[in-house]
Amino acid sequence: MILLSNIEQKTLRSFLGEYNVEFVVRRFEPSDTKSLANLEKECFSRPWSEESLLTEFSKRNSFCFVAISLQNSKIIGYIGCYCVLDECYITNLAVSSLVRGQGVGSTLVEKVLKEAMQRNFAFVTLEVRASNIVAINLYKRLGFKEQGMRKAYYSNPTEDAILMTKFFRCGE
Ligand SMILES: CC(C)(COP(=O)(O)OP(=O)(O)OC[C@H]1O[C@@H](n2cnc3c(N)ncnc32)[C@H](O)[C@@H]1OP(=O)(O)O)[C@@H](O)C(=O)NCCC(=O)NCCS
């Protein structure tokens, strides 16, 4: 059996024509806020407001990447993080339902992992709804491990959170 890396799998899929959305990833700009708020409304039962998104991603210890469709220049996904010392917390990840399953979410998470490695972070961590199998599998595929659970962490509907972490340093 031949095992392919994530990048090789993606290249093979795009070669086979499985991915039909073409996009670029760049850093967040304040003028992106409205599109991010619209994505939040589309994806979450408790969406972040425009104001909270702008406040969060303007902070010095936060960073955010957006994925932009090359077909229509629209924002189709984004990922947001904040950092404490050498720890990186993914706070938001959302991809438009129109383009899911085409590698946008994985590319955004990989971008954060690359940034975290460049900045010599110890780990990247996040919480995810226990029922969100698509997201859990995506994180596992990119090397995150389940670290624990927060009981009834989410509301609307009430649900446990799974804590998932990817460590970069040996022995952790
Ligand atoms: C989770 C989420 C960000 C994934 O984004 P995405 O662009 O679809 O992610 P990818 O295409 O990179 O990977 C999705 C994987 O799930 C698989 N998948 C299975 N069922 C799927 C479905 N119904 N929709 C999309 N992907 C599905 C895809 O095939 C892919 O796996 P593969 O790469 O092994 O083929 C997106 O579904 C989303 O925004 N969901 C709502 C918000 C959310 O749950 N955010 C995460 C909070 S922690």
Radius of gyration of the chain (CA): 16
- Does residue 15 sit within a domain? no
Give the model's pLDDT for residue 6: 61
106-133 per-position pLDDT tens digit: 999 999 999 999 999 999 999 999 999 9
82-112 per-position pLDDT tens digit: 999 999 999 999 999 999 999 999 999 999 9
- Does residue 61 sit within a domain? yes
Mutate-to-test residue for ligand 1 from 134, 150, 165, highest number of ligand atoms within 8 A of CB: 134
- Does residue 1 sit within a domain? no
- Does residue 4 sit within a domain? no
- Does residue 172 sit within a domain? no
- Does residue 148 sit within a domain? yes
Residues 57 and 64: beta-carbon distance below 8 Å? yes
Residues 81 and 62: beta-carbon distance below 8 Å? yes
The total number of structural domains that make up the chain? 1
- Does residue 161 sit within a domain? yes
Query: What would the two tokens of residue 153 be?
Result: 């962490």
Sheet with 145-154: strands ordered across: 23-27, 62-69, 75-84, 87-95, 123-129, 159-167, 145-154
Which CATH number does the domain housing residue 75 bear? 3.40.630.30
Output the ligand 1 site: residues, CB below 6 A. 43, 93-95, 100-106, 126, 128, 132, 134-135, 137-138
- Does residue 114 sit within a domain? yes
Atom of ligand 1 nearest to the CA of 92: 47
CA 155 – ligand 1 centroid, Å: 21
| Residue 141 domain boundaries | 20-167
Cβ-count burial 84-113 (b if 16+ within 10 Å, e if not):
eeeebbbebbbbbeebeebbbbbbbbbbbb
Give the model's pLDDT for residue 20: 82
